Each structure stands twice: as C-alpha cells, then as structure tokens.
Structure 1
Amino acid sequence: MIELRPNQAEPIRKAIEFFEAKKPKPSLIVLPTAWGKSILTAFVAKNSRDKIIVLQPSKELLEQNYLKYCSLCGVFDVNAGIYSASFGRKEIAHITYATIGSIKNMGAEFKRLGFTKMLIDEAHLYPRNADSMLGRFLSESGITHVLGLTATPVKLQTNRDINGESFSKLVMLTSRSKKGNFFKDIIHVGQVQEMVEMGFWSPLKYETSAFDGSELVFNSSKSEYTEESVQRAYDANGGTQGIIDALNAHPDRKHILAFCPSVADAINLSEQYPDSAVIYGDMDKRERADIISRFREGKIRVIFNVRVLSTGFDYTGIDCIVLGISTASIALYYQIIGRATRIQQGKADALIVDLGGNVDRFGHVEDIVFEKGKQWRMFGSGGRLLSGIPIHDIGNYTRADTQAIDAKAEAPIEIMPFGKYKGERLTDIPTNYKQWMIRTFEWNSRNEKLRKSLVATM
C-alpha cells in the first residue's frame, strides 16, 4: 500500500464517507491535474462494502484506473472486473470498471445484481440531461449514490440575451441551468495552489510576446474563436517563424509540445524543424504511437500538433509548451498547460511560451481557485471571474463584482424581454395578457424568474 500525500487523505476519507451515507445528493470532488485521481478511485473501490461501478470516458483512463486498483490491492482481478467493449472484456464484478457506451442499455441488469454506487471520473465530460446515456442508465439502474471527480467542474452553456443574440458562458456543474444540475454540491476542492506549495506541481515559467488580437472573431455561439480567425491571428503574429524562433530561443528544453492552428501548419513545421514530428487526429494509430514512444525516449525533441495532445497525454518529462494558437476556452487552456505540470526527477520547471495572447486573457493556471459564496465560482489571476459570465466578458469582472452580480440575478425583471409588449414595463402590461402568459407558457428553470416577476405585478 502506498503512503498518501498530505493532500490526499482528506478527499479520500470524504469520498468513502459519501458512499456510506444513507441518502447523499449527487456530488463532486474537485482535484487538480496530477493529483492522482486513480488513487482515490482505488481506495474508494477497495473500501466499498456495496457493489460499485467506476465509470470513465475512455478505454485509456479505464485501464489506468483499473491497474492502479490492482497495484494497490496487490492481486489482479480480485473483486474487480472490466466491462468495456473497446477493451474487449465484459465482466461484472463487485467493483466494475466500465465505459458508459458499453453499459448504457444494462441499467435493469445492474439493478437486478444489486449495484447501488457509482464513481464517475472526468465527470464534466458527461451530459447532464436525463435523456443522455448516463441519465437513462441511472434512471433504469436505480443507483442511489453518485460521486463525480473532475479537475474542471464547469460546462459550456449557450444562452440568448434579451435581443435574441446567442452567447456562451462557463457554468459550474452545480449551478442551475436549462439542462438542470445533476450534481448538487461539491464536497471537497483540492486547489491548484496546494499542489504548487507542496511541490507536487512542476513550477511554471511564463513567456509571452506582444499579441495583436484584432483578427480574432467569436463563432456564432460566442463560445470560441472561429478557426479561420485563429489562423489569421496566427499568420499576423509571426506564424511559423514565431514558433521556430521560440524553439530556437530555448535550446535547453528537451521535451516540447507545440500547438498549431492547422494540420498544414503542423506538417510544415515538422518538415522544417530538426528532431521533430507531427501528430494529428487522422494519422495512423501505429505511427502516432511510434512518435510518442520516440518522444518519451528523447529521440524526438518537439511534437507539433493541433489540440490532439491537449488531454490524456501525461508524459512527465514535458518541460515546455509553445502555444501558437489562441483560444477563448479556459478549459482548453487549462488542459494544455496541464500537460507540463507533472514532476519528474531532474526537471526543474516547465516553460510556457504563449504566442496567442492566452496568458493575458486567462492568467496563470496555478492561480485558478474554486470558491463557494452564494454559489460556487471559478476565479483566476487577480481575482478575475471565469465562470457564470459571458465568455466574451472574461477579464471584465472580478471577485469584487460578484456581490453586484448576485444582486442583479435576484432582482425581479421589470422590462418585458420579448413578444407583443417587448420593451414595456411589466407593471404597464394588461393583466389579462399576463394571466394568459402564466396559463399557456412552458415554465422551467430558464424562465422562472420572469414568471415570478409577472405574478408579483398582478
């Protein structure tokens, strides 16, 4: 049995207590990249007196979690099985490691076998709506205890403003939304800064260049920049030569991931730069595996890629990230930087070279914190607010503004936002029209505030 780090014992204890509680609400534990979530899943599974499903979004993560359980328990296949078509195994055991695609139609069977507990790794990747694969499985299986693990407890949500224009924002998984909030609370947060202070995160150094973002344009939902505008911004800010100059300026960096806006750019760079290779989504899997293997062995210094290695690639030796792209997604930014945060003997730090204006936009990832005030929120460098506001407004609000934001959210609606009386005060709208709205409209969490405001004026 391994010796737990100082910051690992408490969340493991809370997770075990959660599964022993009689009727807990679906909840989350937030743990930063490199914390060791597979260790928590192993300890929880080992201590579960009841049958439990450990759910993960991919074959690779399933294998990692399963092997960690086996190594900690000392004996393979004791009380644990794998149910995953992509893994080629379909075993139901006291502890069943599974992917949702393989068990989505087996809710009734797991209920018959007495399963009542579920632990979900990378919980932010699963849809919250009741008609999703996970939603249907939970309904049919009668699972009573659901605990999710994630480093980023946020989801992208698209809304419309009073003028009918689309905008997007990151909402905490515990926040009410048009798709509901399956997870009701966060029972533990492991802050990134804890990892840094304890020496479990590689120190990060940031190097930024002057960036002209005038070419960047949001997509129709204002959730991310368009690919075309990211390409234009890349070309206008040095493009290929900018990345080459950044690589040449740091010959001491041995294992580098460089992110490019297009496959053509990545291939072009790999053809020009020595000791490099390219990885993209459609390439042969064997070729990709060979490149990654040679990268780990130090035979390749630089891998150029197009967001392919932003998640799930955890080689600890990465000591430099070159961001040649611009993104409006804090989740993508966090995941990319996270590739360099793992510690390794002989690795003093990791360098983040940002050529896309991302550091100025979001701040340093080690400054990210999750805090609970009137609701859970995500903050970044300088207290900038990162969740619950339109993505295009990130950088315009800070922790100090949240009190005013909450007050505005609680204040009743005074002006009719749409329809026949759009723009008029609710108090001036005929009562019979407001009564008709109350009777005929479909009211839900999205428009409940309007319903209450109408009632208050009648």
Structure 2
Amino acid sequence: MTETATGLQEKKSDKELYSYQQGAINKIFEKFDTAADNYHLLYQLPTGGGKTVIFSEMVRQYLKNHKRKVLVLTHRVELCNQTSTMLTNFGVPNKVVNSKANLDDQDQYICFVAMVETLNNRLNDGKLDISDIGLVIIDEAHYNSFTKLFKFFENAFVLGVTATPLSSSKELPMKDNYDDLITGESIQSLIENEFLARAEVFQYDMGLTSLEVGSNGDYTVKSSEDLYTSPAMLDKTLQAYLKHSKGKKALIFNNGINTSIQIYYTFKAAGLPVMHLDNTATKKQRKQILKWFKETPDAILSSVSILTTGFDEPTIDTIILNRATKSLTLYYQMIGRGSRILNNKSSFKVIDLGNNYHRFGPWGADLDWQMIFKSPNFYMERLQNDEDIESNFRHEMPEEIRVQFEKSEEVYFDIKEVYIDATYKGESSKVVLERSIEQHGKICIENSEDVYDALGLAKLLDEDIDYRIQSYAKCISRSTFNFLKWLKDDYKLKLNSYLRQNFDEVFEEINGFPPED
C-alpha cells in the first residue's frame, strides 16, 4: 500500500459500499458538519448490515478532510481486533490500545482502537494523549460501560453505532447520552434486497413462571438452569433439533454454563457432533472449537452468550434459543448470528424455547426505533409478562401421544373458557374439572376396545392433565405446590373411576353398539 500525505494508505480492498451504506455515511456527515463539536449521534443498523464497514469508511473520509484524530471504542477483544483489521483494509493505519501496548509511538498514529476498561485505565493514568481526538466512534453503543468515558471527550463528536438503540438499564436510557438517532435499513429491507437471510421460526410454548428476574432486569442464571437442566427440558431441546434441523449446523444459546454443559452431554449421548464453549475457554481452545465448528457441516455448538457479538459464521443453518431473555438487544443479537447470507443460503431456522417470539414479536418486525429511543420505558412496559403470554397458550398434545387418540377429532379442552362460562352461569368452579374429566374419559373410550385399554390411555395424559390443572389453578388464583399436587392426584383418581363406571354406556353411545364381553 502507498501512503498519502495525510498518513492514510491506499485501501487493500477496492470493494464498493452499498448504496444504503453510502447513504448512511452522507447523513451522518451532514449532521457532523452542522452540529456542535461535542454532539452525540446514534446510528442504528441491523446485525449483518455492515456497521463496521460504514464507520471504517467514515474514519477514512474524516481523516482525509480533518486534522484531528479518531478513536474507536469496543467492549470486547475480538471486536477490537476485527475493527483494527477492517480499518487497515480501508487504508487507515491504527494503533490498538490494549493492556500490553507500548504508547511511546502514539504520536505516529492518527487513529486508535481500544477496549473500554483498558482505555479508562490508560486515561486515568495519563498515558494516552487524547487532546487532539475529534471523532469518537463507539461500537455496540447500547452497552452502558461506555458512558463513564464520555467525560474525557467533551470536545469531540461522538458517534455510537448499534443494532438496537435500547439500553438494558431503565436508569441509563440512551437518550440521556445521545442527542439524536439516525436509523438505517430495516431487517425486512435487507432481506428483500438479499443482504440478509430470512428467519423461519419454530416456536414452542414454554412454562416460564418459575423463572426469576435479577437486578440486571433479565432472568437469573440460577432459575434458568433449574428449568433448562431438567431431564424433560433437555430432551425437549434435543427433540426440537432432531425434528427441525437434524444433520444441520446449529448454534445453541443458553443462560448458564451448567445448562450448556448438560446440553453438550445430551446431544453427545444421542450420537451428534457437538461441542461446548463458554468464557472460561482459553484463546487456543476457543480458536480450535470455532475452527471445528466452521469446518464441520453438521456441527452443533452449545454456548453461553460469548458468541452474541463479534462472531460471524455464515454456514450456520439453525439458531436454538435454549433460554428466555427480557433483553430485546440480546434477542436480536442471538438470532442475527444466523442471518448471514452464503451462496444459496437465503433462509435459516430459529428454534425458540424461551417464548422470546411471543415477548418481542418476529425478528425483523417493523419496530419504531425512534419511539424506542425516545421512550424506552413506554416500550418496555408494553411487553407482555410471562403469565400473560402463557395465558394465551393452547396446549397441543405431543404427536407421539396424539396418534393414540386418532379416532378423536378434537382432544383439546379450554379450561379458561369453561371456567368463565361456569362463573357466568353461577355454577361452582368444581364443575370445570368434572367436565374436563368427562372429556378426557370420552377420548379414552373413543380409542379403546375395553375398559383396560381406556385405563391404559389415561396414563398417557399426564402432561395434558398437568396443563389443565395449572390453567384451573390460575383461574381460581391458587397455585401452591401442595394444592396442585393434590388436585392432580385427585383428578387421576376421578378419571379412572369415571372410566370404570361409565365405559359401557359411553362406548355404546359413541359406537352404537355395546362392547364385546
């Protein structure tokens, strides 16, 4: 590369920017040219839209036309190195300010790339001269850790870039740190123009009321692990993969290291090619695992948050959300890992095991980012809580059990609807379970030759009975463990009793003739 008079070099790559990327740069520079020196601007663009490309070209143009320096901030080592490489490719010599960096030659550079904590330490130690910084770019700007550095850049134009301009903290809304927001292309537009792949979502209705919310506003690791490491849940995750993505490359997101490890053992026991990765892995281990993941066509990687940013692997076919989150940003980041296009890949699968689709809506929905930026609490307060989400679920009998009741046209029974109807008529709430038992009894008899067959089928209804008991308990506002256990045991006894007492009569009513002796 040849060096110019400004210290910039010729770009290694002659790749042209897309029209929407150049349009974003023009809008940002228009604001830059008219705003005060200390203006804070936020730019939103979906994951995969090329934020790093956009701000790298911005840095190049800024340094070409201004005599002040640039600082780019990231929150992770991987992003720091990737950003440095991209800037170099755009002809911008830059110095990475990490814990081992020798700053004796800092006068020779017009662009610096640094992580938050490292920079904060260097600035507090007075080891980095930032007096001539005119432009500060903050990658993944929704992270609150950046705000403590703003005091050092009172005379610089600050540009924050993010896919989701929503802070995870109610106490630190982004509108308090940024003066304005410019929104980029929508996910839907990027999909239609073949810049991103389309998500095909498989949503599982999950019971999440046992989850607890921590001080950070999201579900705690402990309560998540209690739920997601249960044998039933581990099997559900495995079966969901086998049903929708068997033989396909999948990335699994978990909330908790133990959950991820248990997923690893579950998939491994099923004979599937799987690895586990979390933040305790060494750089060498991480590199080896990611190399294996890239090169193995049907690889399954179980992870814990570590791959939500700074990780691009276009060969991913399936994203499994084996966790629930209250963070819109995390929801978009996780799904975005599968959205990179590659050759003939125009779509990817998302298996949602955390009611996240119900909570936030489809990935790529037409969100009003300006409203979210200006009124984040209004947006968050409108999100449904778990109880409201689950109240709208319609329990579906598992396919392997449903085939045992193939003679029945309908096996569903709406506890809530029957309860409302009974209450309206002034009846006792007990009639709800009586009618449920009668309906369960009918479908057992419909699919049996004798009472013993019917009693055998009743044993398959355990999950269905669980759901009905839970729904009934919510209707009458009683949900202690002992009460639910008593209700379920009593229900089963009464169902068996109903079958023994009414089998002949119901069988004849259904079939038009009595059962054979």
**Cα distance per residue 1:174-226 (max 9 Å; x no partner):** 1xxxxxx121111343322221221111111000123222322333x481223
Match of residue 52, structure 1, among 70, 73, 79: 70
Tell me the residue number matched to 2:325.
327
Matched, 1:152 2:167: no
How do 1:1-400 residues align onto structure 2 when only pairs under 5 Å count?
1-21=14-34, 23=36, 25-48=39-62, 49=66, 50-73=68-91, 80-86=93-99, 88=101, 90=103, 92=106, 93-104=109-120, 105-106=122-123, 114-127=132-145, 132=148, 134-138=149-153, 142-158=154-170, 172-174=173-175, 181-219=176-214, 221=215, 223-234=217-228, 238-251=232-245, 254-271=248-265, 272-273=269-270, 274-298=272-296, 301-372=299-370, 376=374, 387-389=379-381
The one-letter amino acid paired with 2:232 is G
Q: Does the Cα contact within 8 Å between 1:41 and 1:54 map onto a contact in 2?
A: no
Kept after mapping to 2: 8 A contact 1:62/1:99: yes
Could you tell me how far 1:255 is from its partner in structure 2? 1.6
Greater fraction strand: 1
Deviations 1:387-427 (A, max 9, x none): 35376659989xxxxxxxxxxxxxxxxxxxxxxxxxxxxxx
Between the aligned partners of 2:179 and 2:385, the Cα distance in structure 1 is 26
Partner of 1:455: none
Bigger mean CA offset, 33-42 vs 303-312: 303-312
Query: How far does residue 38 in structure 1 lie from its aligned partner after superposition?
Result: 1.4
Letter in 2 for 1:14: K
Deviation of residue 259 (structure 1)? Answer: 2.5
Deviation at 1:374, TM superposition (A): 10
Which secondary structure does the structure 1 equivalent of 2:133 belong to? coil
Q: Report if the CA contact (8 A) 1:294-1:300 is conserved.
A: no
Change (3 A) 1:358 1:103: closer
The residue aligned with 1:401 is: none
Could you state the TM-score of these two structures normalised by the residue count of structure 2?
Answer: 0.63
Q: Distance in 1 between matches of 2:253 and 2:35?
A: 47
Structure with max Cα Rg: 2
Q: Deviations over 1:332-352 (max 9, x none)?
A: 211111111111113231100
Question: Which has more helix, going by share of residues?
Answer: 2
Instruction: Report if the CA contact (8 A) 2:53-2:86 is conserved.
Output: yes
User: Contact 2:224–2:256 at 8 Å: present in 1 too?
Assistant: no
Sequence identity (%): 24
| CA displacement, residues 307-343 of structure 1 (integer Å, 9 cap, x when unaligned) | 2322222111111011221222222211111111111
1: CA distance, partners of 2:139 / 2:387: 30
Q: Would you say the 8 A contact 1:117–1:143 is kept in 2?
A: no
CA-based RMSD of the aligned residues comes to: 3.1
2:207 and 2:42 mapped to 1: Cα distance?
A: 39
Summarize the Cα distance change of 1:121–1:264 in structure 2 as closer, same or farther, 3 Å threshold. closer
- Paired with 1:394 and 1:18, the residues of 2 have a C-alpha distance of 42
**Which runs of 5 or more residues in structure 2 are unaligned?**
1-13, 390-517
- Aligned in 2, Cα 1:197/1:89: closer, same or farther, shift over 3 Å? farther
TM-score by structure 1 length? 0.70
Q: Is the 8 A contact 1:370 1:377 kept in 2?
A: no
Question: How far is 1:30 from its partner?
Answer: 0.7
Any unmatched runs of 5+ in structure 1?
74-78, 160-170, 175-180, 379-384, 398-458
Partner of 1:69: helix, strand, or coil? Answer: helix
CA–CA separation in structure 2 for the residues paired with 1:233 and 1:243:
12
Aligned residues: 362
Q: 1:303 to 1:329 in 2, by over 3 A?
A: same
With over 3 angstroms needed to count, the CA separation of the structure-2 counterparts of 1:286 and 1:128, relative to structure 1, is closer
Deviation at 1:283, TM superposition (A): 2.7
Cα 1:332–1:237 change in 2 (3 A) is farther
